[in-house]
A and B are shown apart, each in its own frame.
Chain A
Amino acid sequence: MNAPLLQVENLTMRFGGLIAINDLSLTARQNEITGIIGPNGAGKTTFFNCVTGFYKPTEGRLTLTPPDGGTWPLQAMQGFRIAKKARVARTFQNIRLFPGMTVLENLLVAQHNRLMAASAFSIAGLFGLKSYRKAEAEAVEKSRQWLARIGLEKSADLPAGSLPYGAQRRLEIARAMCTDPVLLCLDEPAAGLNPKESLELNDLLLDIRQTSKIGLLLIEHDMSVVMKISDHVVVLDYGARIAAGTPEQVRHDPNVIRAYLGADEDEPLPAVVAKDLGEQ
């Protein structure tokens, strides 16, 4: 079993009287894809916003322990510091690229902090010193490799907003990866993709886990994605964890079936639904 990467303990998030997340505890491990599923409004995106610092949790602890040492108490960190110091990257449910900037520029912005240090906070860059030019060339090379991986090398100089939808999804993942994260949070990466694109996405995510050895958190409604590539699945409903385990265990968990279908646990699943849940 891999070492834990993100430990969530008793996380609670309240908006006024609404409890979006209720005493949630879970563990995401290094080099594993942790799927998070649940009906609409279960608190999945809220959980992501807590992990990535967009919300400050009402209660609870989020501890990140990257493989290269150190521990980061994410619940106490400001949004951009979580990405910068603790190296948690994310994508968004509704794509948030920089549409007017080119594809390549999008990837370079993601390497901002490293380039900023290399340009000595713009001083060395302003005078075009060699150390900065070298750092920039490296950043461009890294972007080029990512573009080759997601098949967008030819479109590098087009505005990101002009790309087709599926390509924008892939670009957003590549952009997040360009920050050198230890944990990548993907918020519904397969939403709006056609079946072929979904399959490509599966390959990309497995490839990222394989080569970058990082942990992935994955929110997804598309069961063909979650059930196939997740090493571990956590099911949320009404902000609380109702099941966790391997995809196989979760698929047969009566709580999950009840949450999704409201069905009696003795009742057999309708054939269509069983297929949707990925049962062969």
Chain B
Amino acid sequence: MAAFKDAILAGLVAALLALPMLGFHLGDSAQGLQLETHLELVPLAAAIVFAGRLALNLAAPWLAKWKDRAPAGKPKLETGVSRRPLYIGIAMAAAALILPLTPWGDRNILDKATLVLIYVMLGWGLNIVVGLAGLLVLGYAAFYAVGAYAFAILSQMGFSFWQCLPISGAVAALFGLLVGFPVLRLRGDYLAIVTLGFGEIIRVILLNWASFTGGPNGISSIPRPSFFGMPMTASSPGHTTFHEFFDIPFSPVQRIVLLYYVILLLALVTNLVSLRIRRLPVGRAWDALREDEIACRSLGINPTSTKLSAFALGTAFAGFAGCFFATRQGFISPESFSFIESAVILAIVVLGGMGSQTGVVLAAILLVGLPEWFRDLAQYRMIAFGGAMVLIMLWRPKGLLAGRTPTIRLNKGDAA
């Protein structure tokens, strides 16, 4: 009976929600906008929700039984420490390396893979700040924007991509330090809100300081990267182009392959640095700070400078990624660095499992790659996104690949 009551309640709520969302519709007609009513959809929605809820309620005892039975086969020892084989990561990197050489490596796939790799790199960069140091940052796209605009503005003065790459990272890190210094004494939610605000400030400045940033029109004709000084164009007066040097016919795919390898290299550097720095004293201090700041102070660790170092490193990688983004697009505008961008990057980190490098790759493919492949279904993207989030929170509340690998082991022989 309780199951029935609950289902009726769910149906009523569905009807209430469906009334404005499904019942009324603004339609474009010859007379301009007109209100169309589809009231027949409301009871339908209510009936579906009622039936679904009732079925779920009736099935609940079986579901519970099934859930109890399931883990019996594998006794679970929750130690929070896991050991993941290294070869998965190496295999993934190798697969990424040879992708352009395989028959699947056409222009379309490489373009999408490049986009995914940008987000993988951003995810790894943010992972340093959020996953390792435990600082919740909601404005990561701002530093991405700083890197992109640093390159775009410098390129107008005649600097090349390779000259600007380190500068972009340094400028983004400088912004990270400037923002971080006053706000890192805040914790958790407060830090998240301040960084959210900073992200908006950067976007609004980019939008309004038209003389410097081009305002809403953005900056266009940003130069493409060259291959050791050789431009990747059909012809270039005064320069030996890439295809002339290697004496091969010109093809626009060459440029795309170069871009792909550049971002792959950048992403792998990000990965190596974060894997390595985790095992260094500063990485362990980030871990420790995330777990207990008071204990850290009692051990003589300077919380401010330790957090700042995580912030600066993470934002530097955002700057590198931004520089690459600018050169790949050839055009940037403030639109590319909205809050949703920060949210997607954070979602990649959280979904992948905080601090997990492989998880970030999986989540980036899931959140950025799949929507690119299923562009025809774009209107259902947000439903899928929301659904995926709910499922993950239900089944893997700590992210796809959760669990922490110790940074060092004393008893090397023992398997954990």
Contact = CB atoms under 8 A, between A and B. Distances in A.
In this complex, which of A121, A122, A176 has the most chain B Cβ atoms within 10 angstroms of its Cβ? A122
Interface string B104-145: 000000000000000000000000000000000000000000
A97 B292 CA distance: 8
Given A126-B280, A157-B411, A89 B288 contact: no
Contacts of B296: 80, 109
A144 B408 CA distance: 13
Contacts of B288: 98, 101, 109
A84 B306 CA distance: 14
A168 to B, nearest CB: 12
A166 interface: no
B289 to A, nearest CB: 9
A237 interface: no
Contacts of B281: 108-109, 111-112, 115-116, 119, 122, 125
Contacts of A159: 79-81
Interface string B70-89: 00000000011100000000
A268 to B, nearest CB: 43
B148 to A, nearest CB: 26
A98 to B, nearest CB: 4
A96 B287 CA distance: 14
Contacts of A121: 282
Interface stretch (B181-189, B231-239, B297-305, B316-324): B297-305
Interface in A80-134: 80-85, 87, 89-90, 92, 96-102, 104-105, 108-113, 115-116, 119, 121-122, 125-126, 128
Contact of B284 (A89, A105, A161): A105
Nearest to B302: A80
B81 A158 contact: yes
Interface string B404-416: 1011111100101
A182 to B, nearest CB: 13
A35 B302 CA distance: 30
A170 to B, nearest CB: 16
Contacts of B276: 125-126, 128
A90 B295 CA distance: 9
A93 to B, nearest CB: 12
Q: Looking at chain B, what size class is its interface with the partner chain? A: 35 or more
B282 A101 contact: no
Q: Looking at chain A, what size class is its interface with the partner chain? A: 35 or more
Contact of B292 (A96, A144, A147): A96
A87 B276 CA distance: 29
A249 interface: no
A132 B87 CA distance: 27
In this complex, which of B273, B288, B298, B407 has the most chain A Cβ atoms within 10 angstroms of its Cβ? B298
Contact of B299 (A101, A104, A110): A110
Given A105-B284, A108-B281, A99 B291 contact: yes
A210 interface: no
A88 B128 CA distance: 31
B285 interface: yes
B406 A102 contact: yes
A128 B281 CA distance: 12
13 contacts: A81-B300, A83-B300, A89-B299, A98-B291, A99-B291, A101-B287, A122-B280, A125-B277, A125-B281, A125-B282, A140-B408, A143-B410, A176-B298
Interface of B: 79-81, 273, 276-277, 280-282, 284-285, 287-288, 291-292, 294-303, 309, 404, 406-411, 414, 416
